[in-house]
Structure 1
Amino acid sequence: MKFNNRNVYISEKAIIGKNVRIGDNTVIYDYVKIGDNSIIANDCILGEPLNDYYFSDSYENPETVIMEGALIRSHTIIYAGSVFGENFSTGHRVTIREKSKFGNNCRLGTVTDIQGYVEFGDNCWLHSNVHIGQQSKIGNYVFIYPYVVLTNDPTPPSDTCIGVTIGDFSIIAVGTVLLPATEIGKHCLVGAQSLVGGKYEDYSLIIGNPGKRLKDVRDLKSKQTGESHYPWPDKFSRGMPWENEGFDVWKIKNGYGND
């Protein structure tokens, strides 16, 4: 481990891997596991105790697992009881509540708010100021742009919680609100500032307030080239696992069939 050695607290019950760098003023609570070659920047809190900590003498922190290659930027707070795959990264001032599960290579932008009890697949990229409500289920290779909100209470205020589901390779554009129980299929595009509820089939272009399916997203043509950008994996590969071989080859190797 490498430390900047200023006001760092690490519980004796935490497990820190090899070549982990930890910044100033960071707190790592009980039962946090940090994988090799990770960077934890200044002023982070990992394994933040849950609410019962303040009221129960028998409280014990649930395990928090951050796998190798993480980059956790300053002022991030990760509550206890979550699991993060390899190469997880955050921007600044990110909050992630308990029982969150992330696959490999996920990125969360600055001031992202994850309300816990959510599931993400691999290679999900969230930009800044995104709010994800509880019980959300996000597939693989999903891009969510700034100021998107995923809600979960159909009759607020209530004790009912029905999260949003988003399929693999879908894009949620800037300023969109997805209502409780919304189901977005694979390879969909939800246009900017849409208000969306209901269920949508794969390859849907969804736009408006209220949001409506306009057409198959593959029929959306570029004004510059006259060609469709969608499905986007055929046109965009930066940072993706198919960057060096192309999406068609990669998806066959990885069992995505005709997706």
Structure 2
Amino acid sequence: MNIVKYFWGLRAVVYKFRFEKIGRLSYIGKPIILEGTKRVKIGSRVRIYPGVRIETHGKEAGITIEDNVAIGQNFHITSSDSDLKIGKDTTILGNVFITNIDHDYRQIGVHILKQKYLTKETRIGQNCFIGYGAAIQAGTILGKQCIVGANSVVRGKFPDYCIIVGAPAKVVKKYNHDTGEWEKIKK
């Protein structure tokens, strides 16, 4: 392990007192913002690169990052009023945003940040891959081993073993267990 990651590991040891849980052999690069981390659980062997922004808002808010998750630089995750979960063995590249919060916007003349949060269940399945710059919006449920393309804007429910790309994101391939191949979705 290089010297920088050694210091990131020491940071995780110090953060054990600020988080609900940080598992063994996890490390965290220098964060930008940590807010409400007493409701954040990080599993074992979780690697988070610098520039992370972790926020929970409200008494019921929580974030769970399961074991063996790798997260690239400049990752931003926010949760309010429910637990946002990232499944084990998932890889998230840099500049990714994941949330279970939408801002209400219907009150005319009231700044959007002063309007209430609209919380929708958001969950990332086990062994997913989320490409660079993706935005995982409130109300997104990714099944097992989903692949999200770079810069995709994702909202909705997606089945296990699919490839999702675009803005708005849609399924373009699914894994066929009978043939053992990733097959294009026919239009």
Tell whether the structures are fold-level matches, with TM greater than 0.5.
yes
1:150 aligned partner = 98
Matched, 1:102 2:32: no
Q: What is the aligned counterpart of 1:123 among 52, 55, 68?
A: 68
CA distance in 2, matches of 1:94, 1:83: 19
- Map 1:169-184 onto structure 2 (within 5 A): 169-184=127-142
2:25 aligned partner = 87
Shift of 1:78: 7.3
CA distance in 1, matches of 2:126, 2:137: 19
Shift of 1:177: 0.5
2:54 aligned partner = 114
Structure 2: tracts of 5 or more residues without a match? 1-5, 57-61, 105-114, 176-180
- Give TM-score scaled by structure 2 length: 0.73
Matched, 1:72 2:20: no
- Give TM-score scaled by structure 1 length: 0.54
Aligned length: 153
Shift of 1:182: 0.2
Matched, 1:193 2:151: yes
CA deviations 1:33-61 (Å, max 9, x no partner) are: xxxxxx667xxxxxxxxxxxxxxxxxxxx
Pick closer, same or farther for the CA change 1:78–1:93 going to 2, 3 Å.
farther
Amino acid paired to 2:64 = E
CA deviations 1:2-40 (Å, max 9, x no partner) are: xxxxxxxxxxxxxxxxxxxxxxxxxxxxxxxxxxxxx66
Matched, 1:164 2:102: no
Structure 1: tracts of 5 or more residues without a match? 1-38, 42-69, 222-259
CA distance in 2, matches of 1:127, 1:158: 30
Shift of 1:93: 3.0
Question: Given that residues 19 and 41 in structure 2 are in contact (C-alpha distance below 8 angstroms), is that contact kept between their aligned partners in structure 1?
Answer: no
- Map 1:1-259 onto structure 2 (within 5 A): 70-72=9-11, 80-93=18-31, 95-96=33-34, 97-116=37-56, 117-134=62-79, 135-156=83-104, 157-217=115-175, 218-219=181-182
Q: Which has the larger radius of gyration?
A: 1
Amino acid paired to 2:25 = N
Q: Which has the higher contact order (CA 8 A, sep 6+)?
A: 2
3-state SS in 2 of match to 1:115: strand
Shift of 1:136: 1.7
Identical-residue share of aligned pairs (%): 27
Question: Given that residues 77 and 94 in structure 1 are in contact (C-alpha distance below 8 angstroms), is that contact kept between their aligned partners in structure 2?
Answer: no
Shift of 1:216: 1.2
Shift of 1:203: 0.5
CA distance in 2, matches of 1:118, 1:186: 19
CA distance in 1, matches of 2:70, 2:85: 14
3-state SS in 2 of match to 1:215: strand
Question: Given that residues 92 and 129 in structure 2 are in contact (C-alpha distance below 8 angstroms), is that contact kept between their aligned partners in structure 1?
Answer: yes
Aligned-residue Cα RMSD (Å) equals 2.4
CA distance in 2, matches of 1:133, 1:93: 14
Question: Given that residues 88 and 126 in structure 2 are in contact (C-alpha distance below 8 angstroms), is that contact kept between their aligned partners in structure 1?
Answer: yes
Amino acid paired to 1:93 = P
